[in-house]
Structure formats: C-alpha cells, structure tokens
Structure 1
Amino acid sequence: MELNTIKPAEGSKRPRRRVGRGIGSGLGKTAGRGHKGQKSRAGGYHKVGFEGGQMPLQRRLPKRGFKSASLKFNAEVTLSDLDRLEVAEIDVLTLKKSGLVREIAKVVKVIKSGELKRAVKLTGVGATAGAKAAIEAAGGSVA
C-alpha cells in the first residue's frame, strides 16, 4: 500500500447536492425549499432563540445569581486542620504541599472551626477575627 493509492471506503463519500440546476436534477425550481414563506427566501430566516415574536424563553426567565471567576483562587483552612499539621511555621506553600489547599490557590484564610491546642506561626495566610483570637490564645501569631 502506498500513500498515493489510499482511497476512502466504498460508499462512504457521496457527491455534493447541487440545488436549483433544472427540472431533471430533481432539485430545480424551489430547490428543496418548498413554497413561499420566510424559510424559502434568500437571506431570510430567524435568529437563534426567536419564537415568532413571542417573548423568547431566555427573556421570560428571571436573571439569577452570579459566580465569581476569582473564587477558585481562594481557599479556606480550619483551625482543626492546622492542629493536625505537624509544622510550627505555616505559609501558603506548606499548606499546598500538605494537600490542605489546591495548587492554584493564591489567597488562603484560616476560619474558626474546630480547636487549636498548640502554638503556630502564620505567615502570608489570613485569618478571621475569631480564628486570630483562637491562634493567639493558643500562643501562636498571625503575620
């Protein structure tokens, strides 16, 4: 077999349908468009979602909600997560390596959920007011 001898499988290719080329072709006169009406005219057909003048579905339904595109770059860590982590100094890179936050996370914040029994030092990681109080009560610090 040579590259120049390769042909498509028998019956897999059909000739183009040439419409409007006389009676004998079977697709003359109206060229398969039927008689009259908007669909038969040149350049005349409705846009996507058009319902003949009736208020279209996308305009009848209420607009609802919003999802921020930047949310995927934010991450939350609980106090109990920090307690399980066996590191004294915690930054974003440490949290990524431990698998507590996703690799694409840019902003990390500690939330007050669970308990912290040991002192930890946070650098480059935010904390809510309650979480900050809990970390400082355990002898840690938030930078």
Structure 2
Amino acid sequence: MHDFDLHAPEGANKKKRIIGRGQGSGRGTTAGKGNKGQQSRSGGKTYLGFEGGQMPLYRRLAHRGFSNYPFKKTVQVVNLVEIEKRYENGETVEPGTLLVKGLVKGANPVKILGDGDLTKKLSFKLVAVSASAKEKIEKVGGTVVSNETVGND
C-alpha cells in the first residue's frame, strides 16, 4: 500500500444503466416505461391540476364577487384598566401619548373600551370612546372630546 494509492471504496461507483438499446441489453423495447400510453411518450407529461380531461376544479368553481378586505378598517382597542395603570391624574389621553406609553402601535385609529374602573380625572382627545367607557370617565370628572363615540363594548 502506497501513500498515494487513492481509489473509491468498493460499491461507491456504479455503472450507468443504459436503456432503450435493444433486446439484448435487458432494457430494450419499452425501456422501462411500461406499455403504450401518454406516460411512455417523450414529452408525455400533464400540467398541475390536470384531471384526465375532466374539467379541472379550478375552472369548475366560480371566481367572481366582491371582497371587502382591501377596504377593512382596523381599530386598536385600549381598556380603561391599562389607562388607569399608565396615566397620572390630570393627564390627556390622545393617540400620541398612548403610543409613547406603549399602549398602541402605529397610526391606526384608537378606541377606548370600558373594561375596568377609572379613578383618575383624565381628558380624552381624538379617540373613539365606547358608551360604557364614556360613562365611567365622566363619573370621575374626566372629559371626552372625541371625533366619535361608538356603541357599547
């Protein structure tokens, strides 16, 4: 054995099987493709979703109508419980301060919901407020100057 006697281990290199080269090769005539039919022909493939000539599902189903998805409005909600924790007495609750205090993300409209109790006198500006939240805010002497007061929570 010499240092530079390099060779692959036994069984690592296999001889390529050549098909379609006559009867004597053992892989002649149909060349391992079975008998006749579309799959035995060259280029005999079908497209994705092909159903044997039957009208494919993607063509049988109707693709029409209206989706409201592009026009949907997303509103960020904040409960009075969170406002009670993060705001001091006499502060103003508005989208900018809510963003700074980490109660909302981004520039989507904000709605205040009435979950929890409020003990601090706060003023709410430019946010939507539910009816129950507005009642609790005004009960402790706070003010609501909003662009809309929207239904119950």
What is the TM-score when the length of structure 2 is the normalising length? 0.53
Q: Is the partner of 2:116 in helix, strand or coil?
A: coil
Aligned to 2:124: 122
1 CA distance for matches of 2:122 and 2:100?
17
Quickly say closer, same or farther: Cα 1:120–1:104, change in 2 above 3 A. same
Distance 1:108 1:125 in 2: 6
After the TM superposition, list the runs of 4 or more consecutive aligned residues in structure 1 that deviate by more than 2 angstroms.
Answer: 27-44, 46-53, 68-74
Larger radius of gyration: 2
SS state of the match for residue 120, structure 2? coil
State the match for 1:108 in structure 2: 110
Q: 1:39 touches 1:45 (CA, 8 Å); kept in 2?
A: no
Query: Can you give the 5+ residue segments of structure 1 that lack an aligned partner in the other structure?
Result: 1-19, 60-67
Shift of 1:39: 3.5
Between Structure 1 and Structure 2, which shows a larger proportion of helix residues? 1
- Name the structure 2 match of 1:37: 37
| TM-score, with length taken from structure 1 | 0.56
Please list every run of 5 or more consecutive structure 2 residues that lacks an aligned counterpart in the other structure. Answer: 1-18, 61-68, 146-153
Matched-pair contact (CA < 8 Å) for 1:73–1:104: no
Q: Residues 51 and 127 from structure 1, CA distance in 2 versus in 1: closer, same or farther, beyond 3 angstroms? A: farther
Paired residues of 1:73 and 1:105 also in contact (CA < 8 A) = no
